[in-house]
Structure 1
């Protein structure tokens, strides 16, 4: 089959698919600093993300204050313990997992939703959560660019949003979505860490793809 007229060349295509395939949610980091030019490149990749109505609802906060970093770690640790309680019989197993690298990573970022989002109606009248979907696209762009550059990234969602918003002096209406650990790693996990730790197992695409109507199998 011949290549489509606007396709990247085969080597470039494979690089894109490799970044997608080898992206990992990292928890183990080296403390080495991230080169400023490299950081700027991956942040620009995040900012190139698509957004509904071109609203660009993402706000990215770079955390350089050690006291703030420690406070965010404490937020994650408190929520880790609450999550373990909520998991019941799997709580002890959960507590053995490493779920964040906030204190170790070279760069710490917080991705947040902007304030004043209610003013943006285009694409959100019936689906207001599209602002969150747009921020997620920016995070994914950052993740893939980081992997291509050889940096690891981990998405931490273990925190109380109102407390993190207070710590970071966010205006009313803004909301933190993710604490992002970014930095050098000794190695990338061969498989998703939660698979390696036997917490869960990823399922194949065929289980998630339907044809025409919900539940109707698309592929044999």
Structure 2
């Protein structure tokens, strides 16, 4: 099946995140807390929580840490309340960027995100200025070195509702609708496979290339944003 693979981009992003594993776990813990407050602690009926747990497992977050985060969120009525905010803007050479945040202080987060864009040679835009350039999809990435035949894996995910199965030299990229993401993840989990990435994400429709100093500016922006505790997810259409 045809498709534009983001495998290299995902591997690159994972390497960056692995260097900041503790911070990644903190951010996922915040997502778990929000999901529990919105829909309760039962993963079997709280679809949003189920999706966050799949993301946590793909980031090698230990099961007992996941369980503790869920129990803490369900039992702590006085815990900090976070608000979800999305920022959109442009990086070097017009790279489209979406930043999702969970914050208890909108003014602080807005100032920090604006600072990151400025340092990276970009600028914040208005709501909707770049989101139309992305499609919200479930995305699961699996390395090729797994104990299952490619055709068998393809049939499992397609029968579970996947929209696309992309085979690359390094591995496989599976695309789903947000609604079918959890079901596809469950079927993959039954095979014993551990994806290197598993999340509801924003997939760019087109790719923008940058060079030289623009790359340094873009990387600086991403580093600043990823270091911000309020920033949960960053999406862009830069071909890294």
| Alignment TM class, shorter chain as reference | under 0.3
Higher relative contact order (CA 8 A, sep 6+): 1
Structure with the larger strand share = 2
TM-score, length-normalised on structure 2?
Answer: 0.24
> Larger Cα Rg: Structure 1 or Structure 2?
1
TM-score, length-normalised on structure 1?
Answer: 0.25
